[in-house]
């Protein structure tokens, strides 16, 4: 298995082990992602291998090769919607009722924003902890570990919940070996035998000019 897959699994394990009930890590155990299930401390963290770059100047045709990696870490939180959407969408609602409902939605969005900020802080401190500088892998497996960004999306109202998502980029460098693909014996064999029918007429002949 290539290192980029091993490292991703290690990141998931580190986060899942350190979560301590404060969030859940997708992949660490089976999860669903309905907004109802990410309220409060049921917040979700998901890790993806996002991009990889293999600079030619830092590798050989037969390996090893340098692999500069970006892992995308996604955050999902939600907060109960204090405001009542039915009031906002009801043409018979009074301006005071609509104003109170909008204020409640904004308060819910603020609480979700506070929650995702806290979640980012927790995950950042876990992954940038000096004890995880090698992501609990053999020394020298990775280098240049760094979380370089955080981005948050717009809050979305889903039923009686306000959901907020965001993401960070974790970048690092590793070395990959080129071992070749052993394949699977006996699989993917293509029969290239040409089946020539006996009754195909011989179309070779002489072109006659009848003009």
Average pLDDT for 109-135: 94
Phi-psi region of 140 (alpha: psi -120 to 50; beta: other; left: phi over 0): left
Interaxial angle between packed helices 3-18 and 95-127, expressed in degrees from 0 to 180 and rounded to the nearest 10? 120
What is the rounded distance in angstroms from the CA atom of residue 58 to the CA atom of residue 53? 11
Tens digits of residue pLDDT in 29-61: 544 455 555 555 579 999 999 999 999 887 677
Long-range contacts, stretch 132-139, CB < 8 angstroms, 24+ apart: 132/14, 135/7, 135/10, 135/11, 135/14, 135/172, 136/10, 136/13, 136/14, 137/6, 137/7, 137/10
Domains annotated on the chain, with CATH: 3-81+113-175 (3.30.2000.10)
Contacting residues for 63 by C-beta, under 8 A, at least 6 apart:
176, 177, 178, 179
pLDDT band at 67 (very low <50, low <70, confident <90, very high): very high
Least confident of 95-109, 110-124, 131-145, 185-199: 185-199
pTM over 0.85: no
Tens digits of residue pLDDT in 68-101: 999 999 999 988 776 566 666 667 667 766 666 6
C-alpha pair distances (Å), 89 with each of 35, 79, 85, 106, 155:
21, 20, 6, 16, 18
Q: What's the confidence (pLDDT) of residue 203?
A: 44
Where does the chain show beta strands of DSSP type E? 24-25, 44-53, 65-80, 142-152, 156-158, 161-176
The helix/strand/coil state of 131 is: helix
């Amino acid at each position: 298995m290539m290192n980029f897959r091993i490292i991703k699994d290690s990141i998931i394990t580190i986060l899942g082990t350190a979560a301590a009930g404060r969030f859940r890590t997708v992949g660490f155990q089976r999860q669903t992602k309905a907004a109802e299930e990410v309220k409060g401390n049921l917040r979700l963290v998901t890790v993806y291998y996002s991009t990889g770059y293999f600079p030619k100047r830092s590798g050989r045709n037969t390996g090893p090769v340098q692999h500069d990696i970006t892992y995308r870490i996604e955050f999902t939180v939600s907060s109960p919607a204090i405001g009542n959407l039915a009031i906002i969408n009801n043409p018979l609602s009074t301006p005071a009722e609509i104003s109170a409902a909008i204020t409640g939605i904004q308060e819910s969005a603020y609480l979700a924003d506070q929650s995702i900020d806290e979640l980012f802080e927790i995950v950042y401190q876990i992954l940038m902890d000096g004890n995880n500088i090698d992501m609990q892998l053999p020394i020298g497996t990775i280098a240049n570990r760094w979380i370089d960004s955080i981005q948050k999306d717009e809050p979305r109202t889903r039923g009686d919940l306000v959901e907020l998502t965001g993401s960070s980029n974790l970048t690092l460098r590793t070395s990959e070996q080129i071992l070749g693909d052993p394949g699977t014996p006996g699989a993917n064999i293509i029969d290239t035998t040409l089946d020539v029918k006996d009754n195909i007429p011989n179309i070779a002949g002489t072109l006659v000019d009848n003009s």
